[in-house]
Amino acid sequence: MRFDVLTLFPGLFESVFAESIVSRAINAGQVELHLHNIRDYAPGRHRVTDDTPFGGGGGMVMKVEPIMLALEAIVEADLIVEQKRSGEVQVPIILLTPVGEVFTQHMAQGLERYERLVFICGRYEGVDERIVDLAVTHEVSLGDFVLSGGEIAAMAIIEAVTRLVPGVLGDMRAIVDDSHARGLLEAPQYTRPAVYRGLTVPEVLVSGNHALVSRWRRKQALIRTWQRRPDLLANAELTEVDRNALAAHRGGSPVGEIPHDTDQRS
């Protein structure tokens, strides 16, 4: 997997990825990270990368030329045009923006299937929309909040995708059981000591009975998801056993549609 990042702040990535799973994956040759400073592609002596918005309003907008020149230096211009025309994406060109689709584990799984991903990190009030018209295949947001730029969002996506690259995590079970990997939040975890400040770990986890442990974890995952993220349950694949376990926890009420707009925490 190869990641290319267009940014005004490559140093941010260097410091974060000097440690972590991504750096191990880079050192092991499982992923490549190529950082490109957008300023290097800005024409003129002053290498200007932003300007005031047409129509007025506050803030600055990132200019179209430096970003397009940077993109065309790393991805064939014909390919950029063709994938916009046909909608068939070979190299996703991902703009990080608060107006994009919210990033999910499902999206990470989809992105991991590509050999190469290109990220454009916007700053200031955003980027000139013509970059989207000409080149961007995916607009992605990290969540419903505003960051000062796309860098932290790109790092989060690179980290989430890298964990999915085969061989990067030694124990593939960890991926399968991750929160969100199967549409549910993960069950609580414990490690030694078995008693801490009077708090014990659930009996079943020290029973040595793998079937019971597995059943307990599934039930905890269901309950947690129902309590904290009922919206996820609507799309999770639930078995009859799951539905009965949830119904029992909810005091016997049948589990069908989980309402979204009521507070179920009480």
Say which of 98, 139, 202, 229 is annotated catalytic: 98
Say which of 178, 224, 229, 243 is annotated catalytic: 178
Site for ligand ADE in 90-109 (CB under 6 A): 96-98
Answer yes or no whether residue 12 interacts with ligand ADE by CB under 6 A: no
Q: Is the dihedral of CA 157, 16, 120, 84 positive or negative?
A: negative
Could you tell me the end-to-end alpha-carbon distance of the chain, in angstroms, rounded to an integer? 45
Helix (H) or strand (E) holding 138: strand 138-141
Contact segment (CB under 6 A) with ligand ADE among 140-148, 163-171, 205-213, 240-248 equals 140-148
Q: Which is nearer to ligand ADE, 17 or 226 (CB)?
A: 17
The β-bridge relationship of strands 138-141 and 93-102 is: parallel
Rule CB under 6 A: choose which of 153, 221, 222, 233 binds ligand ADE: 153
What does the alpha-carbon distance between residue 28 and residue 26 come to, in Å, rounded to a whole number? 5
Q: Is 231 known to be catalytic? A: no
Q: Is 182 known to be catalytic? A: no
Angle at 187 between CA 186 and CA 188, to 5 degrees: 120
Helix (H) or strand (E) holding 102: strand 93-102
Backbone angles phi, psi at 263, to 5 degrees: -85, 115
Strand order in the sheet with 93-102: 32-37, 2-7, 116-121, 93-102, 138-141
Rule CB under 6 A: choose which of 22, 135, 136, 142 binds ligand ADE: 142
SS3 126: coil
Say which of 82, 125, 139, 159 is annotated catalytic: 125
Q: How far is the CB of 234 from ligand ADE (least distance, A)?
A: 24
Q: Which is nearer to ligand ADE, 71 or 120 (CB)?
A: 120
Q: Is 163 known to be catalytic? A: yes
Q: Which is nearer to ligand ADE, 143 or 188 (CB)?
A: 143
Residue with tokens 């990080």: 96
Q: Which is nearer to ligand ADE, 141 or 220 (CB)?
A: 141
Q: Which is nearer to ligand ADE, 78 or 144 (CB)?
A: 144
Answer yes or no whether residue 143 interacts with ligand ADE by CB under 6 A: yes
Rule CB under 6 A: choose which of 27, 44, 54, 145 binds ligand ADE: 145
What does the alpha-carbon distance between residue 139 and residue 98 come to, in Å, rounded to a whole number? 9
What does the alpha-carbon distance between residue 86 and residue 63 come to, in Å, rounded to a whole number? 26
Q: Is 98 known to be catalytic? A: yes
Tokens of 182: 């199967």
Q: How far is the CB of 168 from ligand ADE (least distance, A)?
A: 23
Q: Which is nearer to ligand ADE, 82 or 125 (CB)?
A: 125
Binding site for ligand ADE (CB under 6 A): 96-98, 122, 141-143, 145-147, 149-150, 153
Catalytic residues, which ones?
98, 125, 163, 178
